[in-house]
A and B are shown apart, each in its own frame.
Chain A
Amino acid sequence: MEYTIFILLLPLLTFISLGLLGTKLKPCTAGLIGTISLGLVAILSYFTAFQYFTTQKIDGVYQALMPFNTTWLNVGANLHIDLGILLDPISVMMLVVISTVSLMVHLYSMGYMKGEVGFQRYYAFLSLFSFSMLGLVLATNIFQMYIFWELVGVSSYLLIGFYYTKPSAVAAAKKAFIVTRFADLFFLIGILVLSYYTQTFDFGILNSGNESVFGNAIGSTFMGTSVLTWAMAFIFIGGAGKSAMFPLHIWLPDAMEGPTPVSALIHAATMVVAGVYLVARFFPVYVEFTPEVLHGIAYVGAFTSLFAAVIALVQTDIKRVLAFSTISQIGFMMVALGVSGYEGHYGLGYMSSMFHLFTHAMFKALLFLGAGSIIHAVHSNEMKDMGGLRKYMPITRWTFLIACLAIAGIPPFSGFVSKDEILTATYHFSTGMGIWMTVTAGLTAFYMFRLYYNIFWGKEHKHAHTPHESPLSMTFPLMFLGLLTVVGGFIPFGKLVTADRADYTIHLDMMIATISVVVAVIAILFATYLYRKPSDVPTQMANKVRRLYLAAYHRFYIDEVYLFITKRIIFNGISRPIAWFDRHVVDGTMNGMASVTDWTSIKIRRFQSGSVQWYAYVFLLGVLTITLLAVFL
């Protein structure tokens, strides 16, 4: 399956050519080149997936495959950094997800970004992103993954800051980059510690389950905990940064400043699940050697998902609602991984997490693209400027509804199946966790339908011009993703992607399924009651819990806490004294030396009068002095 290398090379070449020649091409040509290249990548990915899942199952277990691997750098005697392609169930599944969503976003952008300045640059960046994201999932070793991980961060930065004349977009881009970079610092430390003790970067060796690999790492302790635990926890912090887990989630809502298709691609479907993918990639290590870290991941995920869901309840910017919903759903995936075991029946969490990643990518991309279509029509992100759009935008409305039903967990849409498996896994872990996640799922259903009713029903806003349905280039991706959202739940995922790579039979736990559906339906009905017709019941309810409402509206002041810590404590407490020291002590020494030299020079400059006769006179005096000394001493 050597052709998989083209999955990486095609977007890279597209990026280089569009980046270099972009301005010489017509915008639509550049868009077509990008889209066609991504189309080829998608075809290759589907073919790879088909071939992999049909031929690589040996004795009921999927075999990992490395069609391409080369040593890139030798570090020390045993340690070497490779570049290559690793095919195994999760990477192949991610290939399909990334190429599908990316292709849809490429198509969609042809309509959405039409007439924008820098259209070619936009497509170049999209190709760069696709390249780095594909490289990330195909990495054979942790260091290669780290390289692409950073590339993904860079392309995310470039795309968030696409409207670089807008100060808020620039600030958001910087925020996203700095926050994720801060998390990546821990990731890098984790990688270095892990590779130092195990003498390998390779996923194959690390995930082999062989305890001798980790002998040193488990044996050495740091502050009472084994080094392996530290390393794996640090690696998770890197993943938490990219996946916007609390408290590193602050960059994701701001990242919505980028163009909406970018939000769909990067900040909903692909890049933000990189953290989940990372944990899944190291899952054998987590589950076997550091279960305490895995449980920590579960708690972080559970807290984040409820926290983000509460914030999503009261936001008024539709993209922000979707952003917090994304954070919440990623929390679901993290929880599922965190509560999962490894073999057979215990691997339910892992399977459901990957399944949810897959279905979430489809319906969340659909939601974002739908939101883009709405923003395209009304030129605003705010709910109050919408309302009653169902008459004008039928395709957007129906596809949006499908996605809302899917994320709310209504059968038979894809989200129901995957979310139900996650809930089952959490109930197996502990009842408390199960109830916590069920509540979160109910909140999800509520805020999604609040969004839906506020956009398409409710009080009709007076529009300057009548909103209209978007062009086909934008509605086709909506319909395609809508179709995937409807049928996605029927994919026999248990036969494709599981923790131990063997078959897993999905069977619905009727009781849990009933509970979750009932909760979701109640939440939806409640949202219908509140928001379908214009009423002041929501305002009254908000006034009753005014404090909580305001806190949630201001996202629980987490941004302010960050600002307080950075500006007051770090800037004032640490940076300023250091700057003072630098300016006055370090620079002062240098400046002092300079001024002493300067002063001395001014004083002795008379000696260099340029008058040769004066020199000769001094010379003569010198000679006489030396002579007299020589004679009389």
Chain B
Amino acid sequence: MGDILVNTVQIPVPMIAYLIVSLIMLFAGVYGFLTRKNLIMILIAVELILNAVDINFAVFNRYLFPAQTEGLFFAFFTIAIAACETAVAIAIIINVYRRFGNAEVDNIHNMKE
């Protein structure tokens, strides 16, 4: 167990591993965005996509340009903006719920006509 821990520290994780995680997160988000019908779930899916991007920022910065910090700051920005976006989206969803009695996307056609 300890060996494994030591080994883990000493043998750096390759960049590709992080990217695979991020890729899975991204496509999980995209899949959720396309298939989920509940607005809350769609919002969560969008957050998942954003977090996948954040991981990419952090990883690329850490591995390719260790002397610089722009990628990290971009990730911070994205987190802050995602928070704002969530606040706005939740407000919209609450309004939609009040108006239609649920938050299912299939029931909302008013903008089309």
Contacts and interface: CB of A to CB of B under 8 A. Distances in A.
A616 B34 contact: yes
Specify the main secondary structure of chain B where it touches its partner: helix
Give the interface size class of chain B. Answer: under 10
Interface in B29-61: 30, 33-35, 42
Contacts of A616: 33-34
A25 interface: no
B50 to A, nearest CB: 15
Interface in A138-188: none
A600 interface: no
Interface in B1-49: 30, 33-35, 42
A613 B34 contact: yes
B64 interface: no
Interface in B64-84: none
Contacts of B33: 613, 616
Contacts of A617: 34
Contacts of A612: 105
A610 B112 contact: yes
Contacts of A611: 105
A435 interface: no
Nearest to A609: B112
Contacts of A613: 33-35, 42, 105
B99 interface: no
A616 B42 CA distance: 12
A611 B111 CA distance: 10
Interface string A609-625: 11111001100100000
A232 B102 CA distance: 89
Contacts of A610: 109, 111-112
Nearest to B37: A613
A612 B35 CA distance: 11
Contacts of B112: 609-610
A611 B105 CA distance: 8
Contacts of A609: 112
A613 B42 CA distance: 10
Contacts of B42: 613
A620 B30 contact: yes
Interface of B: 30, 33-35, 42, 105, 109, 111-112
Given A613-B42, A617-B34, A620-B30, 13 more contacts: A609-B112, A610-B109, A610-B111, A610-B112, A611-B105, A612-B105, A613-B33, A613-B34, A613-B35, A613-B105, A616-B33, A616-B34, A620-B34
16 contacts: A609-B112, A610-B109, A610-B111, A610-B112, A611-B105, A612-B105, A613-B33, A613-B34, A613-B35, A613-B42, A613-B105, A616-B33, A616-B34, A617-B34, A620-B30, A620-B34
